[in-house]
Structure 1
Amino acid sequence: MAARAYWKGSLKLSLVSCPVLLYPASTSVEKTRFHMINKETGNRLKQQMVDAETGEVVENDQKGRGYELKKGEYVEIDKDELEAVQIESNHTIDIDSFVPKEEIDKRYLNHPYYIAPDGKAGVDAFAVIRDAMKDQDRVALARIVLTNREHVIAIEPLGKGLLGTTLRYPYELRDEDEYFDSIKNPKISKDMIELAGHILDTKAAHFDPSKFRDEYEDALKALVKRKAAGKPVKVAEREEKPDNVVSLMDALTQSLKGKASAKRTAHSAVRRVAQRRPAKRPHRPAARRRSAG
């Protein structure tokens, strides 16, 4: 059963528009979550807002919003003042432009949404916009208001529908130079790069998310299951990290040898299994078996 639509409105391209529904494309519902509890009673705990200076509990009618001008000094913003600057949603995804997909910096990608037609009335217009983007291999950049904030959203064809991904604003990204400027450019020998290239070849694969495994999530579920069943939980000892220093060239060489050795071992095992299997008897015609009896 599909989830409820998160947003309902229209997708608009110039004078062409169609009613659409927006659904979150990701979910964290399946992740294991914990609540704070009282260890003595087993009851769940509730959080209270307290004054940072007095330590007194603050009631709902005393709560407000404030922007910190400097340490410990706030300017209070009233609810009415905040609502005055909020953007009112017109429930329209207004397409501004179409850009090549490869030009979109992946750092700007934020939250994904599925966009589907709302009812039969706008299916034709929806299909025209979707298929035109397929033919041109372009991604639409549009504006949408979600939770009182305007977002830029990138829209591209996905199967029979559309995938919309909200984009971050430039001020939300950190400058990579702050982190990369101090990285040195050491002289690396061609042999090392070739060895690393061979290791890459042994790990070559295709993108397949179905093979992703959240081992920590699996361990959490197993832990909860054992505890709920009253079974003892053995705490594993942390493995000590080896402190031996291996040269980069040695590490690359050993890595490549390890991969080659693993492949040879696997092939040898297959050959041994094949050799142990009894040879199949040739199939004899039914008439011949009857005469032999």
Structure 2
Amino acid sequence: MAPRANWKGFLRLSLVTCPVALYPATSEGEKISFNQLNRQTGHRIKYLRVDADTGDEVPNEDIVKGYELDKGQYIEVTKDELEEIALESTRTIEIDEFVDKADIDPRYLIRPYYLRPDGKVGHDAFAVIRETIREMDKVAIGRVVLTNREHIIALEPMDKGLVGTLLRYPYEVRNEAEYFEEIENVKVTKDMLDLAKHIVNQKASSFDPEKFEDHYEAALIDLINQKRAGKPITPKFKPATTNVVDLMEALRRSVGREATPAKAAKPAKKARKASSGQKEMLMPIEGKKPKETAAKKPTAKPQRKSA
């Protein structure tokens, strides 16, 4: 079943408008997740919303938002008051400008969404907007309200639809100078740079996400399967880390290592489709075995195959 739309409204380029729906392009639902348990009873931990002073549980209808001015002093804001200041971008993605993709600093990228026409009308207008962005080789910049906050959204064509990536505001991005100013100014020699470039050329490839495996997720699945099977858990060997003493020698050895052909390995398994998750690798739960037929067929005697 397709996921439910996170947002529905209109996409508008000047006077061209069409109804659209916004869907999450990524999912964390297939990752292994844990619940917190009481070690003594094995029961799941439950969190309650309680008054910080009285300790009494507070029902949802009595909970309002508050902005803290000073310690213990709040300005209360109701849901109705938040709806009063609703922006036009609550229901419409207005395309404000078109920019080159290279102009978007990757630090501003948050998360991707799929955008498609909503319903049977507006497909023509959607196609005009999509193909205009594609032909101009630009990224459309607009605004959309999600989770009660307005976000910048960058729209790009993908197949028959659009990919919308939420962007951060400047005040959300930290200044790099705070972290980089203490890095020493080191002069890299040409010999070192040539060796490093040689390593890069040996490792050069095209990006294919199917080649990568989530090793930690696989280790979690293995751990859970071992515990369900009652097998003892033994810590895995961790190689000792060594400090590089001679950088030039390390570069030379790296070049030699990358040039050495890897040992013949078993052919890699065909990558699973994105729709099938990691959890399918868990052991089946006891009692959920396929039903056996009521009457067993007589076993046929094995026949020798002719050469």
Which category of TM-score, normalised to the shorter sequence, fits these structures? 0.7 to 0.9
Matched, 1:215 2:215: yes
Kindly state the Cα deviation for residue 57 of structure 1 after the two structures are TM-superposed. Answer: 4.6
Corresponding residue for 2:2? 2
Corresponding residue for 1:284? none
Contact 2:51 2:58 in 1 (8 A): no
List runs of 5+ in structure 1 lacking aligned partners: 271-293
Corresponding residue for 1:83? 82
Corresponding residue for 1:259? 258
Corresponding residue for 1:189? 189
Matches within 5 A, 1:196-275: 196-242=196-242, 244-260=243-259, 262-263=260-261
TM-score, normalised to structure 1, is: 0.81
Aligned-partner residue type, residue 256 of structure 1:
V
Q: Counterparts of 1:106 and 1:76 in 2: how far apart (Å)?
A: 36
Identity of aligned residues (%): 50
Kindly state the Cα deviation for residue 157 of structure 1 after the two structures are TM-superposed. Answer: 0.5
User: Cα gap change, 1:24/1:41 in structure 2, threshold over 3 Å: closer, same or farther?
Assistant: same
Q: Name the count of aligned residue pairs.
A: 263
Instruction: Name whichever of 212-221 and 182-191 sits farther off.
Output: 182-191
SS of the residue corresponding to residue 171 of structure 1 reads helix
SS of the residue corresponding to residue 29 of structure 2 reads coil
User: Cα gap change, 1:46/1:86 in structure 2, threshold over 3 Å: closer, same or farther?
Assistant: farther
Compare the two structures and name the one with the higher helix fraction: 1
Poorly superposed stretches of 4+, deviation over 6 Å? none
TM-score, normalised to structure 2, is: 0.78
Kindly state the Cα deviation for residue 114 of structure 1 after the two structures are TM-superposed. Answer: 0.3
User: Cα gap change, 1:81/1:183 in structure 2, threshold over 3 Å: closer, same or farther?
Assistant: farther
Corresponding residue for 1:291? none
Corresponding residue for 2:153? 153
SS of the residue corresponding to residue 113 of structure 1 reads strand
User: Cα gap change, 1:245/1:209 in structure 2, threshold over 3 Å: closer, same or farther?
Assistant: closer
The alignment's C-alpha RMSD in Å is 2.4
Give the structure with higher Rg (CA). Answer: 1
Kindly state the Cα deviation for residue 232 of structure 1 after the two structures are TM-superposed. Answer: 2.0
Corresponding residue for 2:135? 135
Q: Counterparts of 2:68 and 2:239 in 1: how far apart (Å)?
A: 45
List runs of 5+ in structure 2 lacking aligned partners: 266-307
Contact 2:69 2:75 in 1 (8 A): no
Matches within 5 A, 1:172-183: 172-183=172-183
